[in-house]
Amino acid sequence: MIVWTLAVFSVLASGVDRASATEVATKCPVPPQGSPVLGDIDAAHRLAFIRGTLDDQARRSQTWKWAWIVAGSSLVAGNFENAARTSSHTDRADGIVGGTGSLLIPLSILIRPPVVLADRTEVERRVAESTDGCAALARAEELFARDADSQAKATGVVAHATSIGSNVGVGLLMGFGFEHWKGAAWAGVGGTLISEAFIFTRPKGMIGALERYRKGELSSPSVSQRWSVVPLASRSRVGAQLLVAF
């Protein structure tokens, strides 16, 4: 009798669980380029994946942003300090050019910060305010794709080509145009290395995450390497140290 009662209770509980799961599960339309498999996944699970990815990339982008603002500001201060202390007209001019060029690092970040920082905030606001789960998911997917595209452009071939070309161009101008070969070397070689490090350390996890999402592969992403840039400053030199943790 006891066994029979427990068996009935187990069957009833199982039925309740299935009914609850059916009521809770929500299916939403698939975004452009999405696999049909994605449409069979619960909307809450899809939204959780996007929110987790945005949160991870926003934290990494925030670290990258402030590390390079500090590093760039240190380079500016160091170049202008050297320009003020030197008695050589050539070295003074080189320091002013180097300091002015270094200003582009913090200014570019402050003017155009990584878009994922604002998009994460908007997604969380939409989730909190919206009563339509599919509408909130659709907007999150739209911002997800935009952020991935932004990271792809900021770290792609065009970005690297622009970085190398502009620094080499400034170096050639300083060398052949003004015969400041020491400054030309710093601008051409040093500027290129710093600019490439700026691009190379920029978070770009949204790109791969979007590809997995469109395929319906929503398992937790593996922990990738973490980059940070630490500014170095002393009386004799100013620069930045690249650190990577796996």
How does pLDDT run across 165-189, given as a tens digit for each residue? 998 988 888 888 777 888 788 888 8
How does pLDDT run across 48-59, given as a tens digit for each residue? 999 999 999 999
Q: Evaluate whether residue 16 is within a structural domain.
A: no
How does pLDDT run across 127-156, given as a tens digit for each residue? 999 899 999 999 999 999 999 999 999 999
Q: How many domains does the chain have?
A: 1
Q: How many angstroms separate the CA atoms of 230 and 243, rounded? A: 7
Q: Which two tokens stand for residue 87?
A: 């008695």
Report the length, in residues, of the chain. Answer: 246
Give the per-residue pLDDT at 7.
41
Q: Evaluate whether residue 22 is within a structural domain.
A: no
Q: How many angstroms separate the CA atoms of 32 and 68, rounded? A: 35
Q: Evaluate whether residue 1 is within a structural domain.
A: no
CB atoms within 10 A of CB 244: 9
Indicate whether 239 pLDDT > 60.
Answer: no
User: Residue 105: which pLDDT band, with cuts at 50, 70 and 90?
Assistant: very high
Q: Evaluate whether residue 98 is within a structural domain.
A: yes
Q: Residue 238's domain spans which residues?
A: 32-245
Model confidence, pTM: 0.78
Q: Evaluate whether residue 27 is within a structural domain.
A: no
Q: Evaluate whether residue 231 is within a structural domain.
A: yes
Q: 119 or 2, which is more confident? A: 119
Q: How many CA atoms lie within 13 A of 98 on its CB side?
A: 32
The whole-angstrom distance between residue 86's C-alpha and the CA centroid of its chain comes to 39
Name the residue among 140, 116, 151, 152 with its Cα closest to residue 49: 140
Q: How many angstroms separate the CA atoms of 240 and 246, rounded? A: 20
Handedness of CA 111, 186, 83, 234 (dihedral sign): positive
Indicate whether 222 pLDDT > 50.
Answer: no
Handedness of CA 230, 240, 233, 57 (dihedral sign): negative
Give the per-residue pLDDT at 95.
84
Burial string for 140-176 (b: 16+ CB within 10 Å, else e) reads bbebbbebbebbeebbeeebeeebeebbbebbeebbe
Q: Evaluate whether residue 25 is within a structural domain.
A: no
Pairing of strands 238-245, 226-233: antiparallel
